[in-house]
Structure 1
Amino acid sequence: MTRVLIVDDHALFRAGVRAELGARVEVVGEADGVEEAVAAIAALAPDVVLLDVHMPDGGGVEVIRRAAPGRPQVRFLALSVSDAPDDVIAVIRAGARGYVTKTIAADELVEAVERVADGDAVFSPRLAGFVLDAFAAGGDGGGVPASGAASTAGGTGAAAAADPELDQLTQREREVLRHIARGYLYKEVALRLGISVKTVEAHVSAVLRKLQLSNRHELSRWAVERRLLDGEE
């Protein structure tokens, strides 16, 4: 069972997260600030640290900076109310393996924790776009593995041309894939492409079937791992 440390300066929120996680992971401890978090990580050696980005005595970046060196087995997953691009990129560059917002559903949070523990990079769908943009611009990936360097699907580079899985998709399916991977909602994709929501849903279903994926989270991850560059927006 994945061992989790919850770091947040609001006791009520920590209690809520513990209750939401339930018995599906083992919550080994809690911390309400940087100093307590660094000490707890050293003492408890959790598999995953669920980490708030902003705290009165510092933030997630400082916790990672002080606690991560020499502890490659400890993975950090940011759990924040903020969806600001600067916050997302800063904590990922510091060494976090993912970033999800506090609106995430309980089941999705458990899945994110387990995936981060397994070494995956995990983001809420809309936040993935910030990371994709940062990598496409040549940003330093920090905690994101080289195979997950950020970019978007539907590019025309050599990597895209040589990908047999991507070659299965039609041009329209690639366009939909690109937008979904960047975190757009179905209705937003429909507006941007001038098609109906039902048509978007049909294309997404086709893409998931062809790539043998289960949901849009896996779709975003697939696009990131392929380093598919998108020269258009």
Structure 2
Amino acid sequence: MTELRIAIVDDHSIFRSGLRAELDAGLEVVGEAATVDEAIALVGAVRPRVVLLDVHLPGGNGGGGAEVIQRSAASSPETLFLALSVSDAADDVVRVIRAGARGYITKSSSGAEVSDAARRVADGDAVFSPRLAGFVLDAFGAAAGETAATHDELDRLSQREQEVMRLIARGYSYREVATELYISVKTVETHVSAVLRKLQLSNRHELTAWALERKLL
């Protein structure tokens, strides 16, 4: 059996060590990280197939595990994320799944259960601890009508304008957006003006409220 290359992201070193010891031999741990920034750098450098990712992490822009998923997409699009957290709060579950995680299991899971979940995610399955699946079904089912309306609004924006919109709404400065997207500050300003005009908003504060209301962050 081919070894599955995984990374462990958690801000508690004792937990990382314990989890590494409990995982099946067929899982190769190719790196560990404790913060948002460390995790993003690690994923880009070693490109693991699956990341076991805690939801609450220090660093970055305060977005925790969801931020790691979103900011790693460009550097390692083939990497999949399995949230592994002590939290079973509905908000935490839905936030990280919206960001792109392929599953969410709690830290009460055994090493064998985590190993099995990682393999299933690598094979294309979505994996949830039993009581958490209901949160996801409820959230995405209830949001079906909102999603259609949001898609219509997003369709007004080009792909680049959507990228700029999300970063500005998260609080990035124009210069930070320019660095993140490898474009000039002047180009960022042009995109922001277009976004505000198309969405009929007045400023970045309204844009942030608009994005939060539609759960785009």
Alignment partners' CA distance in 2, 1:56 and 1:48: 21
Corresponding letter in the other structure for 2:113:
E
Residue-pair matches, total: 141
* Alignment pair present for 1:81 and 2:86: yes
**Offset at residue 73 of structure 1 (A):** 1.2
Give TM-score, length-normalised by structure 1: 0.58
Bigger relative contact order, structure 1 or 2 (CA pairs below 8 A, ≥6 apart): 1
Matched residue, 1:9: 11
**Offset at residue 35 of structure 1 (A):** 0.8
The unaligned stretches of length 5 or more in structure 2 are 148-217
Matched residue, 1:68: 73
* Alignment pair present for 1:37 and 2:53: no
Within a 5 Å distance, the mapping from 1:21-36 to structure 2 comes to 21-36=23-38
Alignment partners' CA distance in 2, 1:70 and 1:8: 20
Per the alignment, in what secondary structure is the counterpart of residue 109 of structure 2? coil
Per the alignment, in what secondary structure is the counterpart of residue 55 of structure 1? coil
- Partner deviation per Cα, 1:78-112 (whole Å, 9 max, x = no partner): 00000000000000000000000000111111110
Matched residue, 1:52: 54
Give TM-score, length-normalised by structure 2: 0.62
- Partner deviation per Cα, 1:122-148 (whole Å, 9 max, x = no partner): 00000001011112213589xxxxxxx
* Alignment pair present for 1:95 and 2:97: no
Matched residue, 1:19: 21
Matched residue, 1:172: none
Contact 2:43/2:76 (8 A) holds in 1: no
Corresponding letter in the other structure for 2:31:
G
**Offset at residue 22 of structure 1 (A):** 4.0
Q: Which runs of 4+ in 1 moved over 2 A?
A: 69-72, 138-141
- Partner deviation per Cα, 1:10-55 (whole Å, 9 max, x = no partner): 0000001100114120000100101111111011000001000001
Per the alignment, in what secondary structure is the counterpart of residue 54 of structure 1? coil
- Out of 113, 116, 139, which is 1:111 matched to? 116
Matched residue, 1:171: none
Corresponding letter in the other structure for 2:43:
I
The unaligned stretches of length 5 or more in structure 1 are 142-233
Matched residue, 2:133: 128
Alignment partners' CA distance in 1, 2:98 and 2:25: 31
Matched residue, 2:156: none
Corresponding letter in the other structure for 1:43:
A
Per the alignment, in what secondary structure is the counterpart of residue 49 of structure 1? strand
- Partner deviation per Cα, 1:64-87 (whole Å, 9 max, x = no partner): 111123533100000000000000
Corresponding letter in the other structure for 2:55:
V
